[in-house]
Every structure is written in C-alpha cells, then in structure tokens.
Amino acid sequence: MKLIVGLGNPDKKYKNTPHNLGFVALDEIQKEYKEFFPDYKFNKKFNAEISKGRFPDKNIILAKPQTFMNLSGKSVQAIKKFYKIKPQDIWIFHDDIDLPLGKIRISKKSGAAGHKGVQSIIDMLGTKNFIRFRMGIKTPMAEKIPSEDFVLRKFSKSDQAKADKMVKHILEACNAAAELGITKAMNLYN
C-alpha cells in the first residue's frame, strides 16, 4: 500500500495560497484518475480527507490532513500506523520556498529545511525515509516579507498561472515515479 499526502491548511481563506499547493496537487491526482479514486471524504480517526483507490495494481490512499500545516505529522502517523505503511511508501506533496516558483524537485531522506509541515511528519514518523515532491514558490516578493506571511498570501494572477503549470508538471513526475521508480523520476525531473 502507498500513502500519498498533500500538505495544506483546511480553512477556505488559505485557498490559492502557496502553502496549499499540496492540496491542489492531490485534488488534481484525484480528478485525473477519478475512475480509480472516489471523492474525498473526511475521516475523523485520521483527521484527514481521504480517497482510497487501486491504481493500477496497488492500493493507494490519497490524504489531505485537516490538522493545519504545522501538525500534519499527526494525521500522517495515524494513517501509517492503522494501515501498517512503511515510511518509504509515503509520498508527500508540498510547497518549497527555497525553490523558484515553477521548479519542482523529488527528494528522499532529506531534512525539512524549515518547512514546519514536513518537520511535523519527520518528528511523528521518527524518520526522514519518505519521498517528497517539492513545488517551488519563491518569487522576488519572498525576499521582502516574512516567509510565514509570504506562504499564506494569495497568488497574483501571473503567479497562479505559473503555479498551475507547475502542478501539471509535478503530476507528470508523480506518474514517472510510479511507472519507473523514484530514482529514475529524480533523474528525469530534478
């Protein structure tokens, strides 16, 4: 079984902000493969919106923690423990302020680099041995305001267009990782 997690904040006021790109990516996966993944449903035990499916021959859980970003690890740990998922079978989609807007990176066994949602997952799992699909959000504005404000502000129209294109690109990378393996996908997309 594989667990694919998108990081974000559940409140509507955070929609279309850089910090919610993980949610956006998971919504796109679910839409793209709607015949395999039903609509998300809130699961109280995991405090997450969940869509369970099988694609093509693997059981996969799509999860959007509803804990708010900085506590994402609680939700991920609960799902991991219940389904006995190995950390290396967990893929996390999230924004990354160290990468320019539009750039993507796939990484494994790497530190949080200041991302509190990722740090929460590392802390709760007790390991960095999971896969991360990082989506760059850095723009010139990121240098002018505190990062905690930057990640929660709405995208401008032009930045939103770049972010939308990047989400499509990260889905291609996800497909490559599923078909070819993480290492080959990293060589193709990093």
List all residues 6 or more positions away from 68 whose beta carbon is below 8 Å from its beta carbon: 9, 10
| C-alpha distances out from residue 5 to 8, 48, 61, 189, Å | 10, 10, 8, 20
Determine the 3-state secondary structure of 80 from DSSP: helix
The active-site residue out of 19, 94, 115, 169 is: 19
Can you give the three-state secondary structure of 14-43, one letter per residue? HCCCHHHHHHHHHHHHHHHCCCCCCCCEEE
19 is catalytic: yes
- Cα–Cα distance for residue pair 90/129, rounded to 1 Å: 9
| Terminal alpha carbon distance of the chain | 25
| Nearest Cα residue to 159 out of 18, 3, 1 | 18
Enzyme catalytic residues: 19
